[in-house]
Structure 1
Amino acid sequence: MKIGLHVMKFGLPDGPAAIGPALSRIVRDAEQAGIHSFWPMDHFFQIGIAGPPEDPMLEAYSTLAWAAGQTTTLQLGALVTGVHYRHPGLLLKTVSTLDVLSGGRSWLGLGAAWNEHESRGLGVPFPPLAQRFEMLEETLRIAHRMFAGDDTPIEGRHYRLEQPLNHPAPLRRPPIMIGGMGERKTMRLIAEYADANNFFELPAPGALKQKLDVLRRRCDEAERPYDDIVKTTMGRLGERDLDAARRRFEALADLGVDLAIVDLPDPADPSAFDYLAQLVEEVAPLGRPTPALLG
């Protein structure tokens, strides 16, 4: 099993000038600790579980491009991009550029989105949910074609690309992760188009297993091997109790989770990464052999 790092808060007592130096240390320390990947949120405003909308929030792809220059091995992706935020042609060009400049480390994280407040606040159209799912499926189809170098015209219900050139091509096809736990639409899209899912860790016993069981059925319906999907979760890493953490990640590995992405209460605390380094060593033997996509 691998561990990924999610960063949710960017506010620091010394203000915006302190964000760059602090985040530089965070991503370098994460890489040194053996963390697999770095996943900032793709939000424009802070979200309610972390603070008021006015709290600092960095734009995800600027942050990922900057982090690529600070590191050499961390995989890089947004957790996850709201499909309506960016036109798919430009989004895929952005992810491909990140892949080229990072030496083949980018991922494409996508979801149907939910935060109407930030969209309205910045003047970004926020279509109804059913339409966002249509846009998501079209974007996934476009991603497969553009990443494969197919530049023939694309005519969809929501998007029209006359010549979807994508040069330079990514060094590898960026893995596609779909975030969300909807059993009917989201899991069908994961089964048909994604290399990885992202589910929240669920506290109720058996709840995550039930979700994974549904994903398995969707894979069966799509005639896609369930084991082809890299299973990932998102959760918060609380108190630094290594024994408790080991039991927690053993349980996830037993369910088939390959990559556990965690949010730290205070990533600006340098000692957190000493603990993370120990945790990385503890969880490395867990679960199935590392899928090729995770390296």
Structure 2
Amino acid sequence: MELGVHYWNYSTPADTAAIAPTLAETARIADQAGVASFTVMDHFFQMDRVATAEEPMLEGYTTLGYLAALTQQMTLGLLVTGVMYRHPGILAKTVTTLDVLSGGRGRLGIGASWYEREQAGLGVPVVPVAERFERLEETIQICLRMWSSDNGRYEGRHYRLTETLCEPQPLTRPHPPIMIGGGGEKKTLLLVARYADACNLFGTSVEELTRKLDVLRRHCADEGRDYDAIDKTVLLTRPVLADVDGVLADVAQYASLGVSEVQVMPDRHPVEFATEIAEKVLPRLASIG
């Protein structure tokens, strides 16, 4: 079982000048300890489901570029890119740049986006849910085209590109792994079966995860896709350090379902969190899976 760190909050410590060194030290500790992936959010306002929108939030891909220069081993990605926030051609170029500059550690995490407050606030088009999923599928198609030898036109319902040229190509071949986030059973998991190298689901319960993976398995059968070729990853919603034994017991059950990576979120000062994860969690994960 591999471990990922999802860095979702820039409010600790409170001093804006401390954001960069705190992020850097957290990533350094995680990287040296053997954390497999490091992700940040793709938001511009903090999520008002969990905190006030006015709390600090950094742009995701700029943050990952900063981390690329400070780390050596972890994969780097957004959990997950909001499909409405970047034109697909520019997104493919951005992820390619991350992959090249990180030495082949870029990952495209992507989803349908949902946070309408920040979209409306910053002038991002707010479109119906069905259209967001149409755009999500076209965006993935465009990224795959740009990461191929075909530089020709792309004609979709929402996006039209006269050239899908992307030079240099990513170091990761055939392309940076595509992770689709979300557990929607009719659309999201269908797109996972159709296109993704990995899925990302919430670790709310073993029963819920079992049901989601069964749905994914059925979509894979319908799409003629090898279910086992898709990496299953889970974002843990419980504070891991508050109950290490209990969380690891859940993780062992996730592993029995085929989950290969769990992501954890800091619930205290990020440097303290990374240090304790390295000492208390990572050594025990090695025996799971």
Matches within 5 A, 1:205-216: 205-216=206-217
Q: 1:286 aligns with which of 271, 285, 288?
A: 288
Note the C-alpha offset of 1:272: 4.3
Instruction: Give the corresponding residue for 1:290.
Output: none
Distance of 1:91 and 1:34 partners within structure 2: 28
Distance of 1:45 and 1:14 partners within structure 2: 16
2:172 aligned with 1:192: no
Identity value in percent: 48
Note the C-alpha offset of 1:244: 2.4
Distance of 1:49 and 1:73 partners within structure 2: 32
State the secondary structure of the residue aligned to 1:206. helix
What is the identity, as a one-letter code, of the residue corresponding to 1:41? M
Distance of 1:35 and 1:121 partners within structure 2: 35
Matches within 5 A, 1:160-239: 160-172=160-172, 173-203=175-205, 205-236=206-237, 237-239=239-241
Instruction: Give the corresponding residue for 2:68.
Output: 68
Q: Contact 1:34 / 1:277 at 8 angstroms: preserved in 2?
A: no
Instruction: Give the corresponding residue for 1:103.
Output: 103
Distance of 1:101 and 1:229 partners within structure 2: 26
1:136-184 deviation line (CA, Å, top 9, x unaligned): 1101111111112321111111111111110010001100000111111
1:69-91 deviation line (CA, Å, top 9, x unaligned): 11011100100011111000000
Distance of 2:141 and 2:78 partners within structure 1: 19
1:181-236 deviation line (CA, Å, top 9, x unaligned): 11111111000000000000123x51110111010000000011110100001113
* Distance of aligned partners of 1:276 and 1:46 in 2 relative to their CA distance in 1, 3 Å threshold: same
Distance of 1:16 and 1:241 partners within structure 2: 31
* Distance of aligned partners of 1:85 and 1:271 in 2 relative to their CA distance in 1, 3 Å threshold: closer
Distance of 2:216 and 2:41 partners within structure 1: 24
Instruction: Give the corresponding residue for 1:291.
Output: none
Q: Give the TM-score, by structure 1 length.
A: 0.93
What is the identity, as a one-letter code, of the residue corresponding to 2:33? A
What is the identity, as a one-letter code, of the residue corresponding to 1:270? E
Q: Contact 1:198 / 1:232 at 8 angstroms: preserved in 2?
A: yes
What is the identity, as a one-letter code, of the residue corresponding to 1:232? T
Q: Give the TM-score, by structure 2 length.
A: 0.95
Give me the CA root mean square deviation: 1.4
2:144 aligned with 1:144: yes
Distance of 2:244 and 2:145 partners within structure 1: 44
Q: Contact 1:8 / 1:50 at 8 angstroms: preserved in 2?
A: no
Distance of 1:105 and 1:56 partners within structure 2: 26
Matches within 5 A, 1:6-45: 6-45=6-45
Distance of 2:243 and 2:13 partners within structure 1: 27
Greater Cα shift, 185-194 or 239-248 = 239-248
Distance of 1:91 and 1:22 partners within structure 2: 27
Q: Contact 1:149 / 1:166 at 8 angstroms: preserved in 2?
A: no
What is the identity, as a one-letter code, of the residue corresponding to 2:118? E
* Distance of aligned partners of 1:153 and 1:255 in 2 relative to their CA distance in 1, 3 Å threshold: same
Matches within 5 A, 1:258-277: 258-270=260-272, 272-277=274-279
Distance of 2:242 and 2:30 partners within structure 1: 16
Unaligned 5+ segments in structure 1 are 288-295
Instruction: Give the corresponding residue for 1:127.
Output: 127
Greater Cα shift, 175-184 or 259-268 = 259-268
* Distance of aligned partners of 1:267 and 1:32 in 2 relative to their CA distance in 1, 3 Å threshold: farther
Distance of 2:143 and 2:287 partners within structure 1: 33
Q: Contact 1:26 / 1:267 at 8 angstroms: preserved in 2?
A: no
* Distance of aligned partners of 1:66 and 1:272 in 2 relative to their CA distance in 1, 3 Å threshold: closer
Distance of 2:49 and 2:30 partners within structure 1: 24
